[in-house]
């Protein structure tokens, strides 16, 4: 049987060493029908020269400016040729069979149109990676967590989540997608720039009646925080802004009326906590997020009008992960119910 073509799309902005590690790892992939596209977002280091000299099999597309993770992925999608596409972070390495395992699962499960490999922290391969672990979940207030990572707690990987499972979102660290479904549900929202854009996309995928799955037999290793840094105000800004933006876009008006006041209160509490702790990076990030909403609210409403909003039977976590983690001390995914 002829293997379907898989297009691996890597948005990139500086960081020549991590990109080199990623491409060397992809060179050893055992899947025999692969195209690799690097979308360079205006790198100022030696990244382009390294690709041209050392990796001539990579299809390089140069953007004159940084269009972010979302923009880079979308641009790569438009020039890709595969039946499947993978949005892949440049700060990853992979096991040899990672693509084969994803293709096998997708071919056998036609409703599973978005897949995530098991993500392992590259600096300590006993731990799950922060950015998706073994498959993303979302609680009803819009807080993401994962099998193997809840807020600040990373679990050790002892095979406890090694069975495939339907999830809510597949991490943009390594997100495997059926290309024709993207034609139907739409691409990543470029207003997100980076962070939460894959959850927003997966919300749409779920709303259209398709499924997102974790496939732990496929393994990818990741440097969490390599792009922006774990505590930068800009990353905090993106996380707070984009999570609320996702709720405003995708929830029905009835659901939003219940969810939004609680979510605003919790964000305000986080802002006050940042002030008390002299965590001015957090305070600045949250303040900037809500300033953005005041300035762009009409554009957010326009986005809602274009979407198919369907909140019935969505695989959301029906309880509050904030309450479970901070008040009840449930630190591990296996402790949730």
CA 306-307-313 angle, to 5 degrees, is: 165
Per the model's pLDDT, the better-predicted residue between 212 and 298 turns out to be 212
Domain contains 135: yes
Write out the residue range of the structural domain in which residue 197 sits: 6-222
* SS3 of residue 194 by DSSP: coil
Q: Is the pTM of this model over 0.85?
A: yes
Instruction: Spell out the alpha helix ranges (H) of the chain.
Output: 16-27, 47-54, 68-79, 98-108, 179-185, 197-207, 233-250, 253-276, 280-305, 321-322
Domain of 70: which CATH number? 3.90.550.60
Domain contains 321: no
Domain contains 238: no
Domain contains 286: no
269-287 pLDDT, tens per residue? 999 999 999 999 999 999 9
Domain contains 292: no
Per the model's pLDDT, the better-predicted residue between 38 and 306 turns out to be 38
Considering only CA atoms, which of 309, 94, 313 is closest in space to residue 222? 94
150-160 pLDDT, tens per residue? 998 999 999 99
For residue 303, the model assigns a pLDDT of: 80
172-204 pLDDT, tens per residue? 999 999 999 999 999 999 988 888 999 999 999
Q: How far apart are CA 133 and CA 268, in angstroms?
A: 28
Domain contains 231: no
What is the domain count for the chain? Answer: 1
Domain contains 287: no
Domain contains 281: no
212-271 pLDDT, tens per residue? 999 999 999 999 854 545 568 998 999 999 999 999 999 988 889 999 999 999 999 999
């Amino acid at each position: 049987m002829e293997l379907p073509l898989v297009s691996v799309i890597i948005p990139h902005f500086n960081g020549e060493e991590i990109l080199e590690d990623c491409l060397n790892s992809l060179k050893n992939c055992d899947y025999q029908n692969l195209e690799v596209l690097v979308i360079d977002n205006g790198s100022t280091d030696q990244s382009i020269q390294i690709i041209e000299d050392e990796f001539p099999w990579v299809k390089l597309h140069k953007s004159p400016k940084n269009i972010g993770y979302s923009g880079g992925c979308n641009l790569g999608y438009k020039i890709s040729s595969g039946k499947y596409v993978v949005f892949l972070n440049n700060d990853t390495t992979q096991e040899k069979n990672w693509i084969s395992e994803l293709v096998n699962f997708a071919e056998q499960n036609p409703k599973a149109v978005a897949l995530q490999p098991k993500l392992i922290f590259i600096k300590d391969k006993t731990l799950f990676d922060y950015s998706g672990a073994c498959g993303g979940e979302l609680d009803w207030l819009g807080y993401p967590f994962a099998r193997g990572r809840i807020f600040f707690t990373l679990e050790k990987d002892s095979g406890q989540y090694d069975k495939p499972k339907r999830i809510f979102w597949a991490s943009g660290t390594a997100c495997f997608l059926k290309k024709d479904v993207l034609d139907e549900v739409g691409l990543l929202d470029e207003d997100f720039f980076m962070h939460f854009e894959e959850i927003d996309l997966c919300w749409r995928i779920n709303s259209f009646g398709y499924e997102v799955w974790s496939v732990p037999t496929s393994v990818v290793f990741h440097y969490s925080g390599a792009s922006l840094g774990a505590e930068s105000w800009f990353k905090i800004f993106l996380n707070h802004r984009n999570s609320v933006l996702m709720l405003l876009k995708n929830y029905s008006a009835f659901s939003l009326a219940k969810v939004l006041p609680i979510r605003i209160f919790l964000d305000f509490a986080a802002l006050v906590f940042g002030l008390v702790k002299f965590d001015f990076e957090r305070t600045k990030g949250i303040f900037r997020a809500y300033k953005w909403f005041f300035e762009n609210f009409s554009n957010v409403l326009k986005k809602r009008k274009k979407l198919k909003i369907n909140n019935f039977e969505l695989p959301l976590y029906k309880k509050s992960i904030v309450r479970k983690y901070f008040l009840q001390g449930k630190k591990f995914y296996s402790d949730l119910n």
